[in-house]
């Protein structure tokens, strides 16, 4: 970050009157493509009825997470608050209220909690496969969403009668798979938000109406009894939103599970490399593969904030109160941070290669060393920035799924369209990855 003493230069502008349709047509590449055209890491466009500054790259990501210059309250578009996020949750908080609420999520996603969730997911995959018929196709995206819904509800202490599994899987899925669409799918996502809020609200009220301390602590009881810095219980609708902030994205890991399976079969040599890794190297090989899936494939295109005040950055004058989007997909593919960003190369995350760093060669190393260039789930530090607290959960559920596919399930891939639909939010293989279980379904 540099602060120039020369007079500020104007931020380049997209020439179109409104660029919302262009954004929706190519959501993952919209910002980076235009930044390249403007020769700048920032440009302004009119998006969703408002002038919006669009940022890309690691340097811009570092700026975006500066809490003195950017705030989150009132930043997210209404269409996302009414579907994906809900109202009153951690995403829209700033300063001390944010840090306090975020500490709740950091506790709920601590390593021992993630381990317990992983064990539940392992069981849920085996149970699902036991019900599959050899030769009958299974759509991995559908199966994973149901497996993760069952597992996260069990783990969180959320009662889920068998008769409700389909309905809750569908509701939780619509919150992330439909939120960014237009027309009917978006309306369905709004309806799902109403229904899911009411369900989560009733769960919170049920816990609060129980006399005395809970028999055992669960994610649901922690959220229901959580108090804000002023010592007050969260309003029940807000606690409901926070419960959904745990359940919804865990189900959304199904997208990454599908993309990981896609990489297993479509990225040359990757499946063999994981199967042939020595026992000593297998955990590292798996971890690097999962990091590269999250870097290489699209999921969230961007995150939103607004400027708190005017300031100058890299010679550009940022006005106060302006909505800002940070390009996540483009930053994960920025050639200033990643060598051959369009190639799938898990070894770029191996820590041991940093020792042989040569001028002009890629800096290799784990994600912790790249807080502003590896940003599939946001940038900075999760405990005090808005970075996702669920990266450990996402990695662990991806690992369980990969181990199940590599070591437990007998299956083949039938002919299908495996191309990724980049205009869809979230992007997925067009046929959602179909597999056909074989003979003895489980090894």
The residue ranges that bind ligand HEM (CB under 6 A) are 90-91, 102, 105, 109, 245-246, 249-250, 252-253, 256, 299-300, 303, 376-378, 386-390, 393-394
β-pairing, 138-139 vs 302-307, is: unpaired
Token pair, residue 29, equals 């590449």
Nearer to ligand HEM, 23 or 253 (CB): 253
* 3-class SS of residue 44: strand
Q: How far is the CB of 371 from ligand HEM (least distance, A)?
A: 11
Q: How far is the CB of 382 from ligand HEM (least distance, A)?
A: 7
Nearer to ligand HEM, 105 or 289 (CB): 105
Nearer to ligand HEM, 346 or 390 (CB): 390
Nearer to ligand HEM, 95 or 351 (CB): 95
Q: In what side-by-side order are the strands of the sheet with 434-442? A: 138-139, 434-442, 409-412
Token pair, residue 23, equals 């954004």
Q: How far is the CB of 64 from ligand HEM (least distance, A)?
A: 8
DSSP 382: T
Spatial neighbors of 286 by CB under 8 A, at least 6 apart, are 274, 277, 399, 402, 403
- CA atoms of 303 and 77, how far apart (whole Å): 11
Q: How far is the CB of 333 from ligand HEM (least distance, A)?
A: 15
Q: How far is the CB of 328 from ligand HEM (least distance, A)?
A: 6
Q: How far is the CB of 287 from ligand HEM (least distance, A)?
A: 16
CA-only gyration radius of the chain, Å: 22
Look-up: residue for tokens 């479509």?
266
Token pair, residue 114, equals 């993630």
Q: How far is CA 191 from the centre of its chain?
A: 22
- CA atoms of 316 and 101, how far apart (whole Å): 34
Phi then psi for residue 324, to 5 deg, are -130, 135
Tell me which residue has its CB nearest to ligand HEM: 390
Q: How far is the CB of 288 from ligand HEM (least distance, A)?
A: 18
Nearer to ligand HEM, 300 or 349 (CB): 300
Nearer to ligand HEM, 247 or 441 (CB): 247
Q: How far is the CB of 393 from ligand HEM (least distance, A)?
A: 4
308 CB-contact burial (10 Å; exposed 0-12 / middle 13-18 / buried 19+): middle
- Scored b (16 or more CB within 10 A) or e, 107-120 reads ebbeeebbeebbeb
Nearer to ligand HEM, 109 or 307 (CB): 109
β-pairing, 434-442 vs 409-412, is: antiparallel
Nearer to ligand HEM, 77 or 249 (CB): 249
């Amino acid at each position: 970050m540099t602060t120039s003493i020369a007079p500020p230069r104007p931020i380049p502008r997209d020439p179109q009157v409104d660029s919302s349709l262009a954004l929706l047509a190519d959501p993952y590449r919209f910002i980076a493509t235009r930044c390249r055209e403007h020769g700048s890491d920032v440009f302004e466009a009119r998006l969703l009825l408002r002038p919006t500054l669009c940022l890309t790259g690691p340097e811009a990501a570092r700026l975006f997470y500066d809490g003195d210059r950017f705030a989150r309250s009132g930043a997210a578009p209404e269409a996302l608050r009414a579907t994906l996020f809900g109202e009153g949750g951690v995403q829209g908080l700033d300063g001390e209220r944010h840090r306090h609420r975020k500490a709740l999520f950091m506790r709920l996603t601590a390593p021992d909690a993630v381990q317990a969730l992983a064990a539940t997911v392992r069981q849920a995959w085996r149970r699902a496969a036991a019900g599959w018929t050899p030769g009958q196709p299974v759509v991995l995206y559908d199966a994973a969403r149901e497996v993760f819904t069952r597992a996260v509800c069990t783990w969180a202490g959320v009662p889920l009668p068998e008769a409700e599994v389909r309905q809750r899987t569908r509701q939780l899925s619509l919150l992330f798979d439909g939120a960014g669409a237009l027309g009917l799918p978006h309306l369905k996502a709004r309806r799902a938000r109403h229904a899911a809020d009411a369900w989560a609200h009733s769960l919170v009220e049920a816990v609060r109406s129980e006399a005395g301390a809970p028999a055992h602590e669960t994610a649901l009881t922690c959220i229901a009894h959580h108090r804000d810095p002023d010592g007050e219980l969260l309003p029940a609708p807000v606690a409901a939103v926070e419960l959904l902030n745990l359940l919804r994205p865990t189900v959304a890991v199904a997208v990454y599970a599908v993309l990981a399976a896609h990489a297993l079969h479509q990225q040359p040599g990757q499946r063999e490399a994981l199967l042939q890794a020595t026992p000593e190297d297998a955990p590292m090989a798996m971890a690097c593969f999962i990091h590269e899936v999250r870097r290489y494939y699209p999921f969230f295109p961007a995150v939103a904030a607004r400027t708190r005040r005017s300031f100058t950055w890299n010679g550009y004058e940022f006005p106060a109160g302006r909505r800002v989007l940070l390009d996540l997909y483009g930053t994960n593919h920025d050639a200033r941070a990643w060598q051959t960003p369009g190639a799938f190369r898990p070894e770029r995350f191996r820590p041991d290669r940093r020792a042989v760093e040569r001028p002009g060669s890629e800096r290799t190393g784990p994600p912790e060393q790249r807080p502003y260039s590896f940003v599939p789930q946001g940038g900075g530090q999760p405990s005090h920035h808005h970075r996702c607290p669920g990266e450990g959960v996402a990695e662990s559920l991806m690992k369980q799924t990969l181990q199940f596919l590599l070591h437990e399930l007998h299956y083949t891939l039938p002919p299908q369209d495996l191309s990724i639909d980049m205009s869809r939010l979230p992007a997925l293989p067009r046929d959602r990855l179909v597999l056909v279980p074989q003979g003895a379904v489980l090894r």
